[in-house]
Amino acid sequence: MKESKSSKLHVQQQHQHNGDVSPFFMGKLLDPEASWDKDQLGDVLHWIRQVVALIFGLLWGAIPLVGAIWIVVFLVLSSGIIYGYYALVLKVDEEEFGGHGALLQEGLFASLTLFLLAWILVYSLAHF
């Protein structure tokens, strides 16, 4: 039994060193002392944007909101949430990751697409 646990641990450590499995813990998401590489932080920002886009798209469609101003409101809120996360929660040095522009663009266009898809689908299904 101990041999199988130690062999599983050894295999898991080998995968981590080879880059196959990234060691990722949920506690790292809110830890300002955690170290981030560019790819990890980019992935986290991308997926936060996707979740925000889905929530806002469903909300905008259910309310129902119409007009281009709400697209701008989504972009401002989404970028504000991302900025607040990396600057205030994680307290990363944005220059190490390519500056504010690179961090704020991470996942932006994919999230805009998801937001519009969710908004249009919910609006069309619920109000027509």
- pLDDT score recorded for residue 128: 86
Which pair of tokens denotes residue 14?
């080998």
| Mean pLDDT for the stretch of residues 85-100 | 94
Three-class secondary structure assignment of the chain: CHHHHHHHHHHHHHHHHHCCCCCCCHHHHHCCCCCCCHHHHHHHHHHHHHHHHHHHHHHHHHCCCCCCHHHHHHHHHHHHHHHHHHHHHCCCCHHHHCHHHHHHHCCHHHHHHHHHHHHHHHHHHHHC
Domain spans, the chain:
25-127
**6: Cβ–Cβ under 8 A, 6 or more apart, which residues?**
none
| Mean pLDDT for the stretch of residues 94-107 | 95
pLDDT tens, residue by residue, 9-42:
444 444 444 555 455 667 888 899 989 999 999 9
pLDDT tens, residue by residue, 30-80:
899 989 999 999 999 999 999 999 999 999 999 999 999 999 999 999 999
pTM for this prediction: 0.79
Instruction: For residue 1, give the H/E element and its range.
Output: none
How many residues in the chain? 128
Residue 101: C-alpha distances to residues 13, 82, 104 (Å)? 35, 11, 5
